[in-house]
Amino acid sequence: MPLRNPISRVALAVLTSALVAAGLASAAVPSAAASSRDGVNAVGTPFRGTAPDGQVRGYADLHTHLMSFEGFGGSVMCGRSFDPRGIQEALRDCLDHGPNGSLAWFENFTSKGGLVGTHDTTGWPTFKDWPSHSSLTHQQAYYTWVERSWRAGQRILVNQLVSNRTLCEIYPLKKYPCDEMESIRLQARRTYELQSYVDARSGGPGRGWFRVVRSPAEARQVIAEGKLAVVLGVETSEPFGCRQIGGVPQCTKKQIDEGLDEMRSLGVSSMFLCHKFDNALCGVRFDADTTGVILNLGNFVGSGRFWQADTCTTPEHDNTIIPANDLTALLAGPLAHLRPLGVTLPVYPKAPHCNVNGLTELGEHMLRGMIERGMIVEIDHMSVKAAERTLSILEEEKYPGVVSGHGWSDTGYAPRIYRLGGMITSYGSAADTFAAEWRRARQARDPGRLFGYGYGLDANGMGPLPAPRRDNQANPVRYPFTSPIDPGVTLDRQRTGLRTWDVNTEGVANYGLVPDWIADMRNVAGEEIIADMARGAEMYLRMWEGARS
């Protein structure tokens, strides 16, 4: 937040001047050299070119939110992934957090589990309390932190444009109206502005390392040039206004068709049909525990109905929602008879739970529209009933353009996704936990196809980033280290302003520590996981090419 007295402002100005002189920070309009150093801490030239057979090399993130600071009304997320005025403006706290963070009730709830808490609100250049792997409303993906990951070997980043009307309406502060599609348009525009911002610091238009791509062919060219291919995705709860109120859809097939055409014109290549709340397209995979209780209430606020679940009759299931016990199980059966009347109560039978809502007629229309346009279908967040129908349609069409990008789909669907030619990546977690997910995916892979792996970091998605690996003293990441993906690049501890981070003690505190995290994966799983991560970009492109063929 802005400093409240002139002495503090003078002190910060003196400190900023000293940092700029030392090459540790950007001035108000940062030079190319200064901005490329601050937060990067990587030496060497990133690799370029392809293998003799045309394969690209590099790791892939299928799910991150570079522009979510403009989502949810524009006041929920603190800080920006870039700011033309410089890093000191981009990496600052929200004004409403107060002088010591005590007013940051949403940050306290998401990070600490309660409404009470404090944190240092200075931001750049000290970063005493954030970013950290557990601080969920502060910027986690400043562009030089992403640059560090690109330099270490990242070649695909799916930037998910995201918003949620209900959260926007509930949160008391906002800069923008709560229309989700308006937010998506704004975030797309910001992504192209970041591309131009990087270009301006790299010698001119087209010369920057950050390139938005609209096709797999374009992505291959960008990666062959040694740059980061950025794919635009959409993860929002009401695509094209497709909410439902009292079970009545609020959109039409015509709106969906026009919306898909608009998204393609914006450069969007990948979309979710539903996210967090049941909508007019599909039922969702529930959130569990206390988060689920809150989102269930949001589902009621937005649609007039609570989530409804039956005990599953298939091995695949959604997450368990509460309350679900012996008493609620007795009540759930009779109450289910009220559903046709539009009466729902948050009372559930015994687990495992399956959302009674699947893929709707409108949802099937959107799915087939995406297939016609060669778009990638994001299956995460769909209820198992919706995912089952979606996969059946994709199998009928022999359509490989499907991904589970951040671990929000039942693992039982993995063999079907792989047989189609789709791709699965895991949500970011501590290196040993992530390696266990990778091993499970390897077992489910299609042996007749190339296998590559990646991650869905969900940075700026209001979820935790990977924590430090427990008991890592015996085999920590030792600095400086050679990138596991690009042996021509050496990385030291990541430093921004006055703060230095170490993955061994702080985990992935921001996007810049992804290379350190991958180095830690090598510590626990060896070179095999590194080889699969290095094939992540190639596997993604093959999936995308199959969708566009």
Q: Indicate if the pLDDT at residue 7 is higher than 60.
A: no
Token pair for residue 167? 């959260």
**CA–CA separation, 546 and 539 (whole Å):** 11
pLDDT given for residue 247 in this prediction: 92
Place of tokens 């350190």: 516
Q: Is the separation of the CB atoms in 358 and 282 below 8 Å?
A: yes
Nearest to 138 by CA among 166, 167, 171, 107: 107
pLDDT given for residue 9 in this prediction: 33
Q: Strand, coil or helix: what is 222?
A: helix
pLDDT tens digits for range 24-53: 333 333 333 333 456 899 999 999 999 999
pLDDT tens digits for range 233-257: 999 999 999 999 999 999 999 999 9
Higher pLDDT, 261 or 102: 261
pLDDT tens digits for range 151-206: 999 999 999 999 999 999 999 999 999 999 999 999 999 999 999 999 999 999 99
Place of tokens 């397209």: 281
Domains and CATH numbers, the chain: 59-76+140-280+360-456 (3.20.20.140), 289-355 (no CATH)
**CA–CA separation, 347 and 60 (whole Å):** 41
Mean pLDDT score, 211-222: 98
pTM of the model: 0.92
Mean pLDDT score, 68-93: 96
Mean pLDDT score, 367-376: 98
Mean pLDDT score, 509-535: 98
Percent of the chain with pLDDT over 70: 93
pLDDT given for residue 37 in this prediction: 55
pLDDT given for residue 337 in this prediction: 85
**What's the Cα-to-Cα distance from 209 to each of 119, 217, 232, rounded to whole Å?**
34, 17, 16
Mean pLDDT score, 411-439: 98
Kindly write down the DSSP assignment for every residue of 99-133, as one continuous string.
TTSTT-HHHHHHHHSSS--------TTT-SS-S-T
Measure CA 396 to chain center: 29
